[in-house]
Amino acid sequence: MKKYTDTGKKDTRSGFGAGLTELSKTNENVVALCADLIGSLKMEGFIENSPERFFQTGIAEANMIGMAAGLTVGGKIPFAGTFANFATGRVYDQIRQSVAYSEKNVKICASHAGLTLGEDGATHQILEDIGLMKMLPGMVVINPCDYNQTKAATLAIADYVGPTYLRFGRPKVANFTPENGEFVIGKAVMLNEGTDVTIVATGHCVWEALIAAEKLEAKGISAEVINIHTIKPLDEEAILKSVAKTGCIVTCEEHNYLGGLGESVARVLSLNNPTPQEYIATKDTFGESGTADELMAKYELDAPAIEAAAEKVMKRK
């Protein structure tokens, strides 16, 4: 199996901050907005370089989304940042009408997504945001897996014209994708070729999938691991090509199984090549307080859960 090395744990939100800081120097049309969470979103670098292009809205997310839409009229590329919960559910109608339906080039940048926000608990742990965002016509939905990829995604979405949802997280996690790697929106990344089972994962679950694949290899099971950083548009070809070979699939995400990556994959499979599928996802439940690792284990989103799901789905072939 292909080896991946963790070059040192880093948070994906810092990858976003690094990307945004770079954009402050390389793209004069990029502007940023934040609703009282500058430090959490790591936006200090952008603000230091380009204070005139930063807008602090205070704790008023609806106004922030509307302002972001308005800033596009005048040629700006707004990056609006807050926690994923407040960047989606709280402002759904503002995003729907002023951004998505109005086809505005707004980048909704959502940190602290999913369970791994940790101790703050369920009020802040949104597990429905991928579903909310992917249902909006024209919205691109991206959930990168580590620091390097989040930075690359931040740079890539500045060059894409259209409404975009960029989801990332709070905890420090393995950083294993290449520094300054290429990020192609909508193009899945093959991490390990295998023949017995396909594991597609997004966000923090990608590293867990790689650990699971190693354990499976020790048992003589060849797992194909694919990083689906873009949930919409989904790389259907990569998924169909893989299951044609393996005949079964596990989908992994830090999100409810209703509305997430797993359902998007299931739709593609049911239309083209019905395939046994297991879901690594939260099971229509809210989260709770705890450490990130504890929560990933309790809600069965970690490597042991993926390993077990892979063995289970293989028996359904």
Torsion angle (degrees, nearest 10) of CA 307, 311, 301, 201: 90
Among 21, 94, 150, 177, binds another protein (CB under 8 A): 94
Q: How far is the CB of 97 from another protein (least distance, A)?
A: 5
Among 5, 52, 180, 315, binds another protein (CB under 8 A): 52
- Looking at residues 58 to 77 of the shown chain, list those that interact with another protein (rule: CB under 8 A): 58, 60, 62-76
Q: How far is the CB of 80 from another protein (least distance, A)?
A: 10
Sign of the alpha-carbon torsion through 99, 104, 109, 113 = positive
Q: How far is the CB of 158 from another protein (least distance, A)?
A: 16
Q: How far is the CB of 51 from another protein (least distance, A)?
A: 11
Beta strand spans in 95-187 (E):
107-111, 140-142, 164-167, 172-173
Is 61 one of the annotated active-site residues of the chain?
Answer: yes
Among the listed residues 22, 61, 208, 278, the single catalytic one is: 61
Chain centroid, CA 107 distance in Å: 14
Torsion angle (degrees, nearest 10) of CA 168, 287, 64, 16: -10
- Looking at residues 198 to 257 of the shown chain, list those that interact with another protein (rule: CB under 8 A): none
State yes or no: residue 109 binds another protein (CB under 8 A).
no
- Looking at residues 15 to 34 of the shown chain, list those that interact with another protein (rule: CB under 8 A): 31
Nearer CB in complex with another protein: 103/300 = 103
Q: CB–CB of 219/168 below 8 Å?
A: no
Burial grade of 125 (CB within 10 A; 0-12, 13-18, 19 or more): buried
Q: CB–CB of 106/65 below 8 Å?
A: yes
Distances (CA, A) of 210 to 144, 221, 222, 223, 224: 15, 13, 12, 9, 9
Nearer CB in complex with another protein: 26/102 = 102
Count of residues engaged in binding another protein, rule: CB under 8 A: 32
Among all residues, which ones are annotated catalytic? Answer: 61
Judged by the rule CB under 8 A, the positions of this chain that interact with another protein are: 31, 52-53, 55, 57-58, 60, 62-76, 78, 93-94, 96-98, 101-104
